[in-house]
Amino acid sequence: MENDWYEAGHVAIVTGGSRGLGKAVARELLARGLHVVIDGRDEAALAAARDELARVGNVIAVPGDVADQQHVHDLIASARQLRRLDLVVNNASTLGEIPLPRVEELSRETFERIFQVNLFAPIHIMQHALHVMRRSAEGGTIVNITSDAAIEAYPAWGGYGASKAALEHVSRVLATELDGTHVRVLVADPGDMDTQMHRDAIPDADPRDLRDPADSARALLRAVAEMKEAYVRVRLADLVPA
Ligand SMILES: NC(=O)c1ccc[n+]([C@@H]2O[C@H](COP(=O)([O-])OP(=O)(O)OC[C@H]3O[C@@H](n4cnc5c(N)ncnc54)[C@H](OP(=O)(O)O)[C@@H]3O)[C@@H](O)[C@H]2O)c1
């Protein structure tokens, strides 16, 4: 069933594809024959990921910061050159500051940066992606990666959690606006994974308690393929065998 959904030659953008969940998602999509556009700010790390992923399929790396509007235009242009856009995974994200500041110490600068990267950038990418997807009879799928911090009130996670909560709400509203089209919105909470972001946030976590992002990526692809509604929120941890 899953393999019926992923068609060779389809095109995906996965932001933050140089490591962690984004790289794992890109690898799974490439293995199913999709062309995948990835990005990341660190050019060397992105080039290394591109070289690794190029052994699996056709990957295009566009270095840059999702908060930079010109970079978003470049990402979309790369997909347009491939003549379609079927899937966007808004995965790139920032914690803002490490260690995470409590709300009373959260600077305006950090708060703004978190919202630029985790909320405004995905919205900007979705707006441009919709221009392409809505013109296609097949539509498309937008995936926004969220966090349990969007719902649970963890001390020091106020800035990041607020940005993910806002991303979820915008996703829900967008899905209602897309009613009657063939564009769907999936919000996915990956749960605790063994990635750089988790090491930055919680350095003393036991890696044995954390999921391999490759398992989360496979669960995400399954969730996309099995979507039955125009809007779905999923906890990937529920789909990954313990
Ligand atoms: N890890 C967890 O336990 C966990 C839990 C819940 C939710 N999440 C969510 O899962 C997603 C993936 O997280 P992860 O753990 O895989 O993170 P990660 O290992 O830190 O990877 C983040 C990726 O995003 C890129 N990136 C970061 N800021 C960017 C920016 N401004 N512009 C472009 N690329 C940027 C990074 O490359 P550069 O740094 O070179 O830009 C990297 O490729 C995020 O949305 C995160 O909020 C993670």
At 22-33, the pLDDT tens digits run: 999 999 999 999
- For Cα atoms 127, 238, 19, give the angle at the middle one, nearest 5 degrees: 55
Phi/psi region, residue 156 (left: phi>0; alpha: psi -120 to 50; beta: rest), is: left
Q: Indicate the pTM of the whole model.
A: 0.98
Alpha carbons 99 and 113: distance in angstroms, whole number: 15
Share above pLDDT 70 across residues of the chain, in percent, rounded to a whole number: 98
Q: Is the pLDDT of residue 119 over 90?
A: yes
Catalytic, 154? Answer no
Contact 189, 235 (CB under 8 A): yes
Q: Determine the distance from the C-alpha atom of residue 62 to the mean position of all C-alpha atoms in its chain, rounded to a whole number.
A: 15
The residues, any chain, with a CB within 8 Å of residue 82's CB and separated by 6 or more, are 11, 35, 37, 60
pLDDT, tens digit (0-9, with 9 covering 90-100), for 70-103: 999 999 999 999 999 999 999 999 999 999 999 9
How many whole angstroms from 207 Cα to the centroid of ligand 1? 17
- Sign of the CA dihedral 161, 191, 67, 121? negative
Indicate the residue type of 162.
A
Three state DSSP letters for 10-21? CEEEECCCCCHH
140 confidence band (pLDDT: 50, 70, 90): very high
DSSP for 176-204, written as a single string: HHTTTSSEEEEEEE--SBSSHHHHHH-TT
Cβ–ligand 1 distance for 93 under 6 Å, the answer: yes
Q: Is the pLDDT of residue 64 over 70?
A: yes
240 confidence band (pLDDT: 50, 70, 90): confident
Q: Is the pLDDT of residue 3 over 70?
A: no
Domain boundaries defined on the chain: 2-238
Q: Average per-residue pLDDT in the chain?
A: 97
Q: What is the DSSP letter of 97?
A: S
- Residue having the nearest C-alpha atom to atom 11 of ligand 1: 91
Q: Which pLDDT score, from 0 to 100, does residue 1 have? A: 55
Alpha carbons 112 and 108: distance in angstroms, whole number: 6
Cβ–ligand 1 distance for 211 under 6 Å, the answer: no
Q: Is the pLDDT of residue 46 over 70?
A: yes
Q: Which pLDDT score, from 0 to 100, does residue 167 have? A: 99
Query: What is the average pLDDT across 200-225?
Result: 97
Q: What is the DSSP letter of 174?
A: H
Place of tokens 């566009």: 62
Query: What is the average pLDDT across 39-53?
Result: 98
Tell me which CATH code domain 2-238 carries.
3.40.50.720
Does the N-terminal peptide bond of residue 99 adopt cis geometry, omega within 30 degrees of 0? yes
- For Cα atoms 35, 40, 43, give the angle at the middle one, nearest 5 degrees: 105
pLDDT, tens digit (0-9, with 9 covering 90-100), for 176-193: 999 999 999 999 999 999
pLDDT, tens digit (0-9, with 9 covering 90-100), for 154-179: 999 999 999 999 999 999 999 999 99
Cβ–ligand 1 distance for 42 under 6 Å, the answer: yes
Contact 74, 50 (CB under 8 A): no
- In the beta sheet, which residues pair with residue 232? 186
User: Ligand 1: which atom is nearest the Cα of residue 19?
Assistant: 43
